């Protein structure tokens, strides 16, 4: 059941791309950070929740052919590093596209998708993936 | 019944998965005649959800599109009702997932509805009543489905995926809901038992005693109630289990093709069940002008119909319809599947251990 509580704790970040913005230097972090790694103690108590737009650019990507068994239905799938317009980069799947259409530099938008599920009776985990604009 | 305080649609948003399959491909596998299927039910393609899409994800995308168009603070939405017959969980409301994913407040009325294909419009009636009684400022109703059709069954040609969210309120209404009414009866035309993967249909009950009786009765009651005739409306949209039924219902009532063609989406996307009539209405709102009057009637098996008389207001001109993808834009982004990929996407294949 550890997975259930972990996903529940992170749901707001995974569902809505809620990160943190430092009230001192205005840098944005995703996933959220309690302390700004640039401002250190000056940021304490100033880290505010910030919802990212979900718009970004593909910085790098890879096509996964040797997939874990829960991903066989999606083989091959594309995993990319997406640089969000607000600054942070994150790793996410690019979906609804053939691997040949994905290129570094292409614009993407976040979508809400099923990430995983714990068998046919377990919890369904949702979160962000990206589609090409 | 006029004036600034009449409740109605203040925003709307739809989502249709981009994958499609053609009846030719389904007919090829099951040894049927594609032309007779296409002529019989007037479906040229249907939408298919991606392997990682379900009613929660479709509802979230539709809701986000509605929120984007109005730049609405989701915390002002006081109620969320989601109608579907393919909620991902038997117990664990889709509305809980959707409210969190779009950022609604903890103080929220929410529930999942099921009334075959009219659960979404039942939700619209519910949130309209809550807005009218000043219990909430805005309410959102969503109709969405990833509907099931057994392999080889005629429903496989039509059962598709998609959804639409309507936000109802009293301020900056883009389309006033002048009146709504419903009819309900115990009719065994279509059902799916708990735990069963595919629905069954009661053959002879499907047409006349179910779809037509309820759709036409609700329509006639609405015309009677409003003292109107079909000629008073610019658009008409009906539940669309296939391309033929709504066309016949419209013609029987006296509507012309020019009135019902813009809301008729089933030939291109199939039957999105709870999303069907609402997505047709969404396509009409994409193009409607101030003063246009819309006649909208849903149907849910089991059976019942919800009718709406709607007038588009001047506010639609200020409303950012292009703040989210229109139905036309969503119909243009298509990826075709063959039956093998469709079977994999829809989990129609028996797989070994470890593959979900």
Q: Cα(B44)–Cα(A106) distance, rounded to whole angstroms?
A: 32
Of B57, B89, B355, the CB nearest to A73: B355
Q: Cα(A130)–Cα(B1) distance, rounded to whole angstroms?
A: 46
Residue B117, domain CATH: 3.40.47.10
Question: What's the whole-number average pLDDT of chain A?
Answer: 94
Give me the pLDDT at residue B2, please.
41
Tell the residue number behind the tokens 């969000």, with chain if given: A84
The answer to whether residues B20 and B66 touch, using CB atoms and an 8 Å cutoff, is no
Phi, psi (rounded to 5 degrees) for B233: -110, 145
Q: Cα(A84)–Cα(A30) distance, rounded to whole angstroms?
A: 10
Q: Cα(B34)–Cα(B25) distance, rounded to whole angstroms?
A: 8
Q: Indicate if B25 belongs to the active site.
A: no
Q: Cα(B282)–Cα(B69) distance, rounded to whole angstroms?
A: 12
Q: Cα(B284)–Cα(B316) distance, rounded to whole angstroms?
A: 12
Give me the pLDDT at residue B356, please.
67
The answer to whether residues B289 and B198 touch, using CB atoms and an 8 Å cutoff, is no
Q: For an interface test with A, give the residue of B13, B16, B52 to mutate (most A CBs within 10 A).
A: B52
Of B18, B101, B354, the CB nearest to A112: B101
A126 in a structural domain = yes
Give me the pLDDT at residue B3, please.
41
Domain limits for position A64? 53-132
Q: Cα(B171)–Cα(B66) distance, rounded to whole angstroms?
A: 15
Distance of CA B296 to the CA centre of its chain: 11
Q: How many domains does chain A have?
A: 1
Residues near B27 by Cβ (< 8 Å), separated by ≥ 6? B33, B34, B37, B157
Is the pLDDT at A47 greater than 80? The verdict is yes
Tell the residue number behind the tokens 């962000």, with chain if given: A128
The answer to whether residues B298 and B278 touch, using CB atoms and an 8 Å cutoff, is yes
Of B50, B61, B64, the CB nearest to A95: B50
Give me the pLDDT at residue A2, please.
67
A33 in a structural domain = no
Contact list in A for residue B97 (CB cut-off 8 A) is 15, 126
Give me the pLDDT at residue B4, please.
44
Q: Touching check for B60 and chain A: CB below 8 Å?
A: yes
A2 in a structural domain = no
Distance of CA B269 to the CA centre of its chain: 11
Contact list in B for residue A126 (CB cut-off 8 A) is 56-57, 97, 101
Compute CA distances A56 → A30, A33, A91, A107, whole Å.
13, 20, 12, 6
What are the residues of chain A with a beta carbon less than 8 Å away from any beta carbon of chain B? Answer: 11-12, 15-16, 51, 69-70, 72-74, 95-96, 111-115, 117, 119-120, 124, 126, 129
A78 in a structural domain = yes
Backbone angle region of B354, left / alpha / beta, with phi > 0 → left and psi within -120 to 50 → alpha: left
Kindly state the average pLDDT of the residues A50-55: 96
Which tokens sit at B151?
Answer: 């392999």
Helices B213-226 and B244-253 pack at an angle, to 10 degrees, of 40
B15 in a structural domain = yes
Q: Cα(A19)–Cα(A13) distance, rounded to whole angstroms?
A: 7
The answer to whether residues A21 and A48 touch, using CB atoms and an 8 Å cutoff, is yes
Which tokens sit at A71?
Answer: 């991903």
The answer to whether residues A33 and A67 touch, using CB atoms and an 8 Å cutoff, is no
DSSP B278-292: HHHHHHHHTT--TT-
The answer to whether residues B62 and B47 touch, using CB atoms and an 8 Å cutoff, is no
| CA angle centred on B178, ends B309 and B167, rounded to 5° | 90
Per-residue pLDDT tens digits for B102-151: 999 999 999 999 999 999 999 999 999 999 999 999 999 999 999 999 99
| 3-class SS of residue A100 | helix
A77 in a structural domain = yes
Per-residue pLDDT tens digits for A74-128: 999 999 999 999 999 999 999 999 999 999 999 999 999 999 988 889 999 999 9
B1 in a structural domain = no
- SS3 readout for B104-164: CCCCCEEEEECECECHHHHHHHHHHHHHHCCCCCEEEEEEEEECCCCCCCHHHHCECEEEE
The answer to whether residues A76 and A67 touch, using CB atoms and an 8 Å cutoff, is yes
Which tokens sit at B306?
Answer: 């919800």
A80 in a structural domain = yes
> Is the pTM of the predicted complex or chain greater than 0.95?
yes
B355 in a structural domain = no
Q: Indicate if B24 belongs to the active site.
A: no
B159 in a structural domain = yes
Q: Indicate if B117 belongs to the active site.
A: yes
The answer to whether the bond into A19 is cis (omega within 30° of 0) is no
Q: Touching check for B186 and chain A: CB below 8 Å?
A: no
Q: How many domains does chain B have?
A: 1
Residue A101, domain CATH: 2.40.50.840
Residue B72's nearest CA partner among B292, A9, B80 is: B80
Domain limits for position B268? 8-345
The answer to whether residues B121 and B277 touch, using CB atoms and an 8 Å cutoff, is yes
Give alpha helix (H) positions in B54-113. 55-70, 94-102
Q: Do B354 and A12 touch (CB under 8 A)?
A: no
Give alpha helix (H) positions in chain B. 23-30, 34-41, 55-70, 94-102, 119-132, 213-226, 244-253, 257-260, 266-269, 276-285, 327-332, 339-345
Q: What are the residues facing B235 on neighbouring strands?
A: B294
Q: Which residues of chain B have pLDDT under 50?
A: 1-4
B356 in a structural domain = no
Which tokens sit at B8?
Answer: 């109605």
């Amino acid at each position: 059941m550890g997975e259930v509580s972990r996903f529940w704790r992170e749901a707001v970040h995974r569902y809505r791309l809620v990160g943190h913005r430092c009230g001192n230097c205005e840098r944005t972090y995703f996933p959220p950070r309690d302390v700004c790694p640039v401002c250190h103690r000056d940021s304490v108590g100033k880290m505010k929740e910030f919802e990212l737009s979900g718009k970004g650019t593909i910085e790098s990507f890879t096509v996964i052919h040797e997939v874990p068994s829960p991903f066989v239905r999606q083989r091959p799938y594309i995993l990319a590093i997406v640089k969000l317009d607000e600054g942070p980069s994150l790793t996410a799947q690019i979906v609804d596209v053939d691997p040949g259409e994905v290129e570094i530099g292409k614009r993407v938008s976040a979508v809400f998708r099923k990430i995983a599920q714990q068998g046919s009776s377990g919890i369904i985990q949702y979160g962000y993936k990206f589609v090409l604009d | 019944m006029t004036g600034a305080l009449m409740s109605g649609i203040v925003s709307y948003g739809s989502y249709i998965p981009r994958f499609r399959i053609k009846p030719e491909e389904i007919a090829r596998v099951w040894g049927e005649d594609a032309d007779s299927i296409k002529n019989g039910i007037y479906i040229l393609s249907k939408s298919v959800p991606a392997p990682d899409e379900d009613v929660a994800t479709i509802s979230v995308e539709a809701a986000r599109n509605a929120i984007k168009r109005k730049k609405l603070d989701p915390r002002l939405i006081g109620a969320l009702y989601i109608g579907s017959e393919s909620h991902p969980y038997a117990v664990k409301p889709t509305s809980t997932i959707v409210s969190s994913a779009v950022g609604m407040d903890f103080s929220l009325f929410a529930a999942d509805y099921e009334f075959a294909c009219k659960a979404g419009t039942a939700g619209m009636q519910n949130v309209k009543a809550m807005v009218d009684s000043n219990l909430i400022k805005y309410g959102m109703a969503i109709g969405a489905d990833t509907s099931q059709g057994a392999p080889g069954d005629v429903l496989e040609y039509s059962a598709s995926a998609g959804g639409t969210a309507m936000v109802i309120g009293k301020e900056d209404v883009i389309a006033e809901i002048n009146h709504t009414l419903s009819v309900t009866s115990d009719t065994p035309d279509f059902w799916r038992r708990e735990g069963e993967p595919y629905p069954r249909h009661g053959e002879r009950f499907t047409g006349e005693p179910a779809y037509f009786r309820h759709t036409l009765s609700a329509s006639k009651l609405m015309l009677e109630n409003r003292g109107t005739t079909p000629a008073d409306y610019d658009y008409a949209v009906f539940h669309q289990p296939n391309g033929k039924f709504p066309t016949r219902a419209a013609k029987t009532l006296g509507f012309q093709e020019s009135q019902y063609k813009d809301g008729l989406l089933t030939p291109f996307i199939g039957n999105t069940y709870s999303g069907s009539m609402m997505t047709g209405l969404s396509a009409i709102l994409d193009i409607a002008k101030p003063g246009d009057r819309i006649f909208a009637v849903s149907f849910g098996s089991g059976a019942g119909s919800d009718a709406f008389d709607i007038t588009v207001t001047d506010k639609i001109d200020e409303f950012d319809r292009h703040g989210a993808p229109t139905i036309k834009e969503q119909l243009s982004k298509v990826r075709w599947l063959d039956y093998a990929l469709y079977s994999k996407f829809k989990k129609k294949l028996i797989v070994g251990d470890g593959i979900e």
